[in-house]
Amino acid sequence: MRDPGEISDVKVIGNDKIISTSYDGSINLITYKDGIITHVSDNEASVNCICVLDDDTFATGSDDMTIKIRNKNTKKLKWDYKKSLNIYVYKGHESGVRCLEKIPDD
């Protein structure tokens, strides 16, 4: 059994922050320079993984069977600016999302 506060994943995002997720559903940004922790979100379910998409955007995979796209600066769910679609939550997985990977554009 996992400790609910246990960190599930950690990634570097941009040139100034580290992002961490926990099995209790919390998502935090830690700034390199000053060590300030910014609370991003309390998810309804365990957050299992992070995938950094670019310097400002990351995705999270959760036990609630969703993938959520977020912006590190606004801390809000994100629009697909290339297609003008509201794609901030992907639903429909048959089980919790445990791993995410970015596929290069080329």
Taking only Cα atoms into account, the Rg of the chain, rounded to an integer number of angstroms, comes to 13
HSE toward the beta carbon, residue 16, CA cutoff 13 A: 10
CATH of the domain at 55: 2.40.10.480
Total tally of structural domains belonging to the chain: 1
pLDDT of residue 78: 59
Structural domain that includes position 41: 7-90
71 assigned to some structural domain: yes
pLDDT of residue 9: 93
98 assigned to some structural domain: no
- Alpha helix locations (H) across the chain? none
95 assigned to some structural domain: no
102 assigned to some structural domain: no
26 assigned to some structural domain: yes
Q: From its phi and psi, is residue 87 left (phi > 0), alpha (psi between -120 and 50) or beta?
A: alpha
73 assigned to some structural domain: yes
DSSP SS3 for 72 = coil
97 assigned to some structural domain: no
Higher-pLDDT residue of 28, 41: 28
The pLDDT of residue 103 is above 90: no
Question: Mind listing the pLDDT tens digit for each residue in 33-89?
Answer: 888 887 777 666 788 999 998 888 888 898 888 888 887 766 566 555 455 444 577
> What amino acid occupies position 53?
L
56 assigned to some structural domain: yes
Would you state the structure tokens that stand for residue 24, as one six-digit string? 């209790």
